[in-house]
Amino acid sequence: MELEFEGEVWFWRGPAPHHFVTVPDDVVDELRTVAAALTYGWGCLPMHVRIGRTDFTTSLFPKDGGYIVPVKVAVRRAEGIKLGDRVTVRLRADL
């Protein structure tokens, strides 16, 4: 399964601060069709992700009935991504 969307980078200041992009509802609907086959705990979904020219692996985190994509520091540096930037996110799940 491969999906693509655009979203804004936002920051969460919690005990483990991190940058994220929220997965839009239409993409969440598609992810739900395979979520049971992918999840490994707490509803997290392992994914291969591409932002710009940078590929990485991570897990989508469940949040408010949808999912969020963590954007690693190395990815933000490599792509020059700043808080509030809009980025194109490509997700690939190996089923």
- pLDDT, residue 41, reads 78
pLDDT digits (tens, 9 = 90+) for 37-60: 999 878 999 999 999 999 999 999
Token digits for 59?
């897990």
Q: Which residue has the tokens 């936002």?
A: 10
Higher per-residue confidence, 4 vs 95:
4
How much is the pTM?
Answer: 0.92
Class of domain 2-92: mainly beta
Percent of the chain's residues with pLDDT above 90: 84
Distant-in-sequence, close-in-space partners of 40: CB < 8 Å, separation ≥ 6: 46, 59
Per domain, the residue ranges of the chain are 2-92
SS3 83: coil
In this predicted structure, the answer to whether residue 95 has a pLDDT above a threshold of 70 is no
| Predicted pLDDT at 74 | 96
* pLDDT for 57: 97
